[in-house]
Amino acid sequence: MIKKIKELEKLSRLLDPGMDQRDKWNSEVLEYSNSFINKLDTAKAFFYSEKNGKDLYNLDIEEEATGLTSLLDSTTKNIDEVGINPASGGHMGYIPGGGLYPSALGDYIAAVNNKYAGVFFAAPGAVRLENMLIRWMCRLMGYSENATGNLTSGGSIANLIALVTARESHNIKARYFDKSVIYLSEQAHHSILKAIRIAGLSEAPIRYIPLDEKLRLSANELEKTILEDKEKGLIPFFINASFGTTNTGSIDPIDSIAAIAKKHKLWFHVDAAYGGFFKLVKELSSKFEGIQKADSITLDPHKTLFLPFGTGTILIKNKEIVLKAYQYLADYMQDTVDADEEISPADISIEQTKHFRGMRLWLPLKLFGLKPFRASLEEKIYLTRYFYNEIKKVKGFEVGPEPELSVAIFRYVPKDKDAYYFNKKLIQAIQKDGRIFLSSTNINEVFWIRIAVVSFRTHLVQIELLLDIIKENVNIILTERN
């Protein structure tokens, strides 16, 4: 048996390479990374490809090792140069993850030390770091010391945690699901609907509250609907409002909705995944009035703190409620109980095992400080306003509501009124060009083109280029139609 163990050990030790091998790999990965970043100014924001990365199948998992050089070459050809390039300043189609370079360093550190940041006993420093970040975000939103939260993989898990916490807080049992009413706007993010299903609330009545002229949830219609449901013997229990809808960037009237929620004793959740960190911009302070009254808030650092995808946050106003909903103790974890000086992330989350996400957030915030984040967010607001004003000047274009944050919608209305066909052609032409990536949406059965100015690499030069591309392609389409 000893002979067998030593034979296996010899192969097993290949998994723990020495310094020379690590230095070689580090050098190759750093060269790849620098090359990728250095080419971003000229690289496309969207790559059309017939193969769409199919050559990756030639590198399926096998018994024998493959050299890093060929793997990085395949990464460039089959991943980086296919589809959307979210690292590009020309990505203005969806709400992108930013990919700050220090975040990559933070992930590297977290992967090397591999701290288990789910339980305080296992990694006290890692848990303290993440809870320190949570407390900073709580202060930013105006929450008291009794609030808590969790770094999640994104807004979807954050919204799910909020909904389940609300369900447990209101003691909603299965026999009441078909009477427990949930209130949303038509612009609520689809992750809320997914959360409703996963939380077992598919039978719950969902009320879509009408929007006002600025595509915001109408507070008057909300209270009217709640009163009607109470008269029917139903149980209103959950309101979702948006601080910056993904679709249009609209901000629901937070303070008015908070007053309604308090009056009728409903859980009030604010999905601020996209818009929440605009709280750093002093000019927008008034728009956040009342957000501290929400029972829960979703924030996404991978949106407006420009972090890589996979970095969300849920804040809960009352830590006792979320602990009641999620805290469990396995027999084999009994050693951890007496050591807790901080709330363990696993006690307030769906996740037990989790990535040490805090490093990717803490490192850039500390290395840069808050000033450049504030400036970048303010810049995105002004860039969006600039685009909105400039596109209005172009003959044939109409725009949606004035942007409240950094998303705007617009469309071309040709003389023959076949606007759907024209704008479909226009968005396809912009995407095929690839230098700038935009997306489209439908609002009240009207086809609109969206611009979302969120990337920290998006500056005036990209907006000017976009305006030129739009004008150029409008002329091409008009010529083809004549």
Model confidence at 25, pLDDT cuts 50, 70, 90, reads very high
Q: What angle do CA 88, 276, 155 make, to 5 degrees?
A: 75
Q: Which residues touch 23 (CB under 8 Å, ≥6 apart)?
A: none
- Indicate whether 328 pLDDT > 80: no
Distance CA 347, CA 327 (A): 4
Half-sphere exposure of 81 (CA within 13 A, CB side): 15
At residue 480, the pLDDT reads 83
Judged against a pLDDT cut of 80, whether residue 333 lies above it is answered with: no
- Per-residue confidence band for 413, with pLDDT thresholds at 50, 70 and 90: very high
- What is the model's pLDDT at position 227? 98
- pLDDT tens-digit readout, 102-158: 999 999 999 999 999 999 989 999 999 999 999 999 999 999 999 999 999 999 999
pLDDT at 482 over 90: no
Pairwise CA distance, residues 290 & 317, whole Å? 13
pLDDT digits (tens, 9 = 90+) for 382-405: 999 999 999 999 999 999 999 999
What distance in Å separates the CA atoms of residue 291 and residue 256, rounded to the nearest whole number? 10
Contact between 390 and 161 under an 8 Å Cβ cutoff? The reply is: no
d(CA 319, CA 316): 6
User: pLDDT tens across 34-54, in order?
Assistant: 999 999 999 999 998 888 899
371-481 CATH fold: Aspartate Aminotransferase, domain 1 (3.90.1150)
- The yes-or-no verdict on residue 337 having pLDDT over 90 is no
Mean pLDDT computed over 322-330: 83
Residues of the chain with CATH 3.90.1150.10: 371-481
The pLDDT tens digits of the residues spanning 419-432 come to 999 999 999 999 99
- Secondary structure of the chain in the HEC alphabet? CHHHHHHHHHHHHHHCCCHHHHHHHHHHHHHHHHHHHHCCCCCCCEECCCCCCHHHHHHCCCCCCCCHHHHHHHHHHHHHCCEECCCCCCECCCCCCCCCHHHHHHHHHHHHHCCCCCCCCCCHHHHHHHHHHHHHHHHHHCCCCCCEEEEECCHHHHHHHHHHHHHHHCCCCHHHHHHEEEEEECCCCHHHHHHHHHCCCCCCCEEEECECCCCCECHHHHHHHHHHHHHCCCEEEEEEEEECCCCCCCECCHHHHHHHHHHHCCEEEEEECCCHHHHHCHHHHHHHCCHHHCCEEEECHHHHCCCCCCCEEEEECCHHHHHHHHCCCCHHHHHHCCCCCCCCHHHHCCCCCCCCCHHHHHHHHHHHCCHHHHHHHHHHHHHHHHHHHHHHHCCCEEECCCCCCCEEEEEECCCCCCHHHHHHHHHHHHHHHCCCECEEEEECCEEEEEEECCCCCCCHHHHHHHHHHHHHHHHHHHHHHC
Instruction: Report domain 108-368's class.
Output: alpha beta
Average per-residue pLDDT in the chain? Answer: 94
Q: Give the separation between CA 358 and CA 370, rounded to whole angstroms.
A: 16
What's the whole-model pTM score? Answer: 0.95
Summarize pLDDT for 171-214 with one digit per residue, the tens: 999 999 999 999 999 888 889 999 999 999 999 999 999 998 88
Strand partners, 184: 208
Mean pLDDT computed over 401-422 = 93
Cα gap 360→107, rounded to integer Å: 6
What is the predicted pLDDT for the residue at 97?
73
pLDDT at 50: 82
For residue 339, the model assigns a pLDDT of 59
The mean per-residue pLDDT over the stretch 247-255 comes to 94
- The average pLDDT across 156-164 equals 95
Quick: pLDDT tens for 205-243: 999 999 988 889 999 999 999 999 999 999 999 999 999
pLDDT (0 to 100) of residue 340: 64
Percent share of the chain, pLDDT over 90: 86
Q: How confident is the model at residue 327 (pLDDT cuts 50, 70, 90)?
A: confident
Side-chain-side CA neighbours of residue 60 (13 Å): 3
pLDDT above 80 for 472: yes
Looking at per-residue pLDDT, the higher value among 116 and 330 belongs to: 116
* Location of each CATH 3.40.640.10 domain in the chain: 108-368
